[in-house]
Structure 1
Amino acid sequence: MAEVMACQATEEQPQWGGFIAGRGYKPRNREMAHQNLMNNYFNPNSVYNKEDFRHRFRMRRHVFERVLHDVQHVNPYFRQKLDIAGRPGFSPHQKVTIALRMLAYVSPADAMDDTFVVQLYKEEYLRQPNPADLDRLLRKVEYRGFPGMIGSLDCMHWQ
């Protein structure tokens, strides 16, 4: 008769996060990806110029750098940390790039109400336009062939 082996009690592993014995390391080349990002867009003499940067990130470089600086001071997630094995995690530039892509392509706008972006920039950017803003916007859209068009794309209308 075959002998039945009982499972031996072992230390419980946490369900999420941390190192789990027996799992292998998968190199993600974070350092190389960071260096590529820096060489392509942020270092002096970068591969892409400021127009390429604006096309890729939908903002000017100084705006990206302001967001990068601000979010690192507000939210520790955006600072680079070491993982459990002592390897550097994703860089702040990588984290902000990904966060901006998520905001732009994945999440619905109403899911972002409580995020750091709203906290940091609400007063400056998330407000109704004042008369000077409206005048500037009306001149811009008229120049582009849409006279009188303010707010019609998002179903908001200002007097």
Structure 2
Amino acid sequence: MRSLYLRIHNAVIENDKYFVQKWKCAGQLGLSSLQKITAAMRMLAYGASVDSVYDYVRISESMSIESLKRFVRSIIDIFGEEYLRSPTNEDVARLLEEGSQRGFPGMLGSIDCMH
């Protein structure tokens, strides 16, 4: 799981320099890329409010919202072509075969396993 997070983290930093930690005018370090990306991921994954993100990551409401917007744009730019596309016939065949091997023949529509 950590390697996946770091892969996403590194790709997002390369795509948008907003996420790189910078020095503030007062000579203090600004928020780290880990704080900004973690805030965005928590809001997406858990539906966390900006208030709860502040409690967890210590990032302001406006910074949380900006981080979320930029994170989503970066993910679409970086991974959209590979992962955010309609499945090909080969993808469907592979997924149906994997489902059949796991005891769920014909299963394709229940990605979250809730239905």
Structure 1 gap ranges (5+): 1-53, 55-59, 155-159
TM-superposed CA distance for 1:148, in Å, is 0.6
Note if 1:142 corresponds to 2:100: yes
Higher normalized contact order (CA 8 Å, seq sep 6+, divided by chain length): 2
The corresponding residue for 1:129 is 87
- In structure 2, what is the Cα distance between the partners aligned to 1:93 and 1:140? 35
Change (3 A) 1:93 1:142: same
TM-superposed CA distance for 1:153, in Å, is 5.3
Change (3 A) 1:152 1:65: closer
The corresponding residue for 1:68 is 9
- Residue by residue over 1:45-98, the C-alpha shift from the partner in whole angstroms, topping out at 9 and shown as x without a partner, is xxxxxxxxx2xxxxx51x323322222122222100123432222222232222
- Residue by residue over 1:24-57, the C-alpha shift from the partner in whole angstroms, topping out at 9 and shown as x without a partner, is xxxxxxxxxxxxxxxxxxxxxxxxxxxxxx2xxx
The corresponding residue for 2:29 is 88
Structure with the higher helix share, 1 or 2? 2
Alignment RMSD, CA only? Answer: 2.8
The amino acid across from 1:97 in the alignment is T
Q: TM-score, normalised by structure 2?
A: 0.61
Q: Percent identity?
A: 43
The corresponding residue for 1:29 is none
- In structure 2, what is the Cα distance between the partners aligned to 1:139 and 1:90? 45
The corresponding residue for 2:61 is none
The corresponding residue for 2:19 is 78
Q: TM-score, normalised by structure 1?
A: 0.46
- 3-state SS in 2 of match to 1:115: helix
The corresponding residue for 2:38 is 97
The amino acid across from 1:132 in the alignment is E
Structure 2 gap ranges (5+): 49-68
Give the paired residue count. Answer: 91
- 3-state SS in 2 of match to 1:87: coil
TM-superposed CA distance for 1:125, in Å, is 0.3
